Structure 1
Amino acid sequence: MSRNGPLALSFHALVVIFMLAPLVVVCLVAFTPENTLSLPTSGFSLRWFEAVFERADFLDAFHNSLILAFSSATLATLIAVPAALAITRLHFPGRDFLNALFLSPIIIPHLVLGVAMLRLFALMGVSGSFSWLILAHVVVITPYVLRLVLAAAVGMDRSAEQAAESLGAGRVSLFCRITLPMILPGVAGGWLLAFINSFDEVTLSIFVTSPATQTLPVRMYVYATESIDPMMAAVSALVIALTVVTMVVLDRVYGLDRVLVGKQ
């Protein structure tokens, strides 16, 4: 029995269309010459893209989002890798509690976390600090890295580690030359997923950002409450284009199959 019959292919096509249709519509609206959110019917225009690059607040917010996503994803990875190795290889009291603690931000609504961190930062007197904003994002994106690294660590063959250890390899050398390369797809995929989630995070960021540390999603949200024009579509189209270019470059240089599923 064929697994890719007409019914299955039709279903897959509908799913793909359902997922891509909103992105296509947003990209088309970004080229409208009109002053309202509408599809371009009389021609295409770049006026809204020019408007985006003329807005210093959007450029600063984009810069903040890049730094925030890169920093928080890197810190989350540095935390998740040793935590995942300890959870999968060591047996100690509280191991299950530690695992649940790291993964708890996934099930806690970000609205609740945002309100709690807003109160905590106010009591500590660090409201509006970019460094503490990074730490707030680390809390909510660490579970994504941890899950992928846990999967990579559980599925790896430890015979190479045992052979290297029997030949006198030290712990640092063993980790850098054997363990890390074997779990690298999980680490890279986790970092990428954490970067995307941090860059897109808006619910938590609304509560813990300040005008000086405003991220791009928060700036877009604030602008959408003030005005409804195609400039939001232009910003969205630019982000979509940047994401596509990044994924293509990553696929050509390293391979998305290796990053996301660990295929060798």
Structure 2
Amino acid sequence: MPRNGPLALSFHALVVMFMLAPLVVVCLVAFTPENTLSLPWHGFSLRWFRAVFERADFIQSFYNSLILAVVAATLATLIAVPAALAITRYRFPGRDFLNGLFLSPIIIPHLVLGVAMLRLFALMGVNGSFVWLMFAHVVVITPYVLRLVIAASIGMDRSAEQAAESLGASRFTLFRLITLPMILPGVAGGWLLAFINSFDEVTLSIFVTSPSTQTLPVRMYVYATESIDPMMAAVSALVIALTAATMIILDRVYGLDRVLVGRH
């Protein structure tokens, strides 16, 4: 197997450094004792982390984002799994249209979707509803689950299913004991991507949230338009730490290669 030469390794190192540099800078700025966005040249301080935990609105927005992301990702998975199995296994009129419909939120700008849903929810009289905010998130994150589940479904060996079916297994038993375990890496990876995209979504959410249902990204955006203190860096550092911890735990318990790549 050919090895990467010094030039290729240097290029990869530069790419990784370029991607990580903004995150490192944000995390460093979060520890500044100053009142402005600056690197902590004169010592480290936790004052801005304390300021975050003293803001009840940020804490509530975090819980809103967490609950919204978990529920929306779960609903998107429940929709995407049967849709992916139907698209990959059956030929029926409108199959390509259904596939395109499910994947269309990826190519439609979220700004356009946000304006459209704002108008739709206004006509329905449900502006600011957490349930309809959840519906909006399900629409935009379902394609991420669908693509990974379709990839897992196409690549699976169906001989075990055929053997179980020949022995009289019901469709539910077949799905629960054979199909689902075989496509589980795609399902888990899709759920994870859906959760991350829902938690980070701001362009769409800013149109359909209300003061009582504001998510953390929307709260951060609104705060950043009013102030330039380092508290936003502290919030960002906390989110980065939470994401990193989640990925490490997931890797230890299940394995990121199985979730994101599909290796067994």
TM-score normalised by the chain length of structure 2: 0.99
Q: Give the Cα–Cα distance (whole angstroms) in 2 for the partners of residues 41 and 253 of structure 1.
A: 39
Deviations 1:72-127 (A, max 9, x none): 00000000000000000011000000000000000000000000000000000100
Q: Give the Cα–Cα distance (whole angstroms) in 1 for the partners of residues 238 and 94 of structure 2.
A: 46
Q: Give the Cα–Cα distance (whole angstroms) in 1 for the partners of residues 204 and 181 of structure 2.
A: 34
Deviations 1:130-182 (A, max 9, x none): 00000000000000000000000000000000000001100000000000000
Q: Give the Cα–Cα distance (whole angstroms) in 2 for the partners of residues 232 and 68 of structure 1.
A: 21
Instruction: Give me the identity figure in percent.
Output: 87
Q: Which amino acid aligns with 2:202?
A: V
Note the 1:101-180 alignment, pairs <5 A.
Answer: 101-180=101-180
Q: Give the Cα–Cα distance (whole angstroms) in 2 for the partners of residues 72 and 134 of structure 1.
A: 6
Q: Give the Cα–Cα distance (whole angstroms) in 1 for the partners of residues 60 and 208 of structure 2.
A: 17
* Runs of 4+, deviation exceeding 4 Å: none
Cα shift at 1:26:
0.3
- Indicate the residue corresponding to 1:201 in structure 2: 201
- Indicate the residue corresponding to 1:88 in structure 2: 88
Q: Give the Cα–Cα distance (whole angstroms) in 2 for the partners of residues 244 and 116 of structure 1.
A: 34
Cα shift at 1:250:
0.4
Cα shift at 1:2:
3.8
Give the 3-state SS of the residue equivalent to 1:3 in structure 2: coil
Q: Give the Cα–Cα distance (whole angstroms) in 2 for the partners of residues 38 and 229 of structure 1.
A: 9
- Indicate the residue corresponding to 2:62 in structure 1: 62
Q: Give the Cα–Cα distance (whole angstroms) in 1 for the partners of residues 246 and 108 of structure 2.
A: 30
Q: Give the Cα–Cα distance (whole angstroms) in 1 for the partners of residues 144 and 249 of structure 2.
A: 23
Q: Give the Cα–Cα distance (whole angstroms) in 2 for the partners of residues 257 and 52 of structure 1.
A: 34
Q: Which amino acid aligns with 1:188?
A: A
Cα shift at 1:3:
3.5
Q: Which amino acid aligns with 1:263?
A: R
Q: Give the Cα–Cα distance (whole angstroms) in 1 for the partners of residues 258 and 156 of structure 2.
A: 14
Structure 2: stretches of 5+ with no match in the other structure? none
- Indicate the residue corresponding to 2:38 in structure 1: 38
Give the 3-state SS of the residue equivalent to 1:42 in structure 2: coil
TM-score normalised by the chain length of structure 1: 0.99
Q: Which amino acid aligns with 2:244?
A: V
Give the 3-state SS of the residue equivalent to 2:127 in structure 1: coil
- Aligned-residue Cα RMSD (Å) equals 0.7
Q: Give the Cα–Cα distance (whole angstroms) in 2 for the partners of residues 239 and 147 of structure 1.
A: 26
Cα shift at 1:205:
0.1
Note the 1:248-263 alignment, pairs <5 A.
Answer: 248-263=248-263
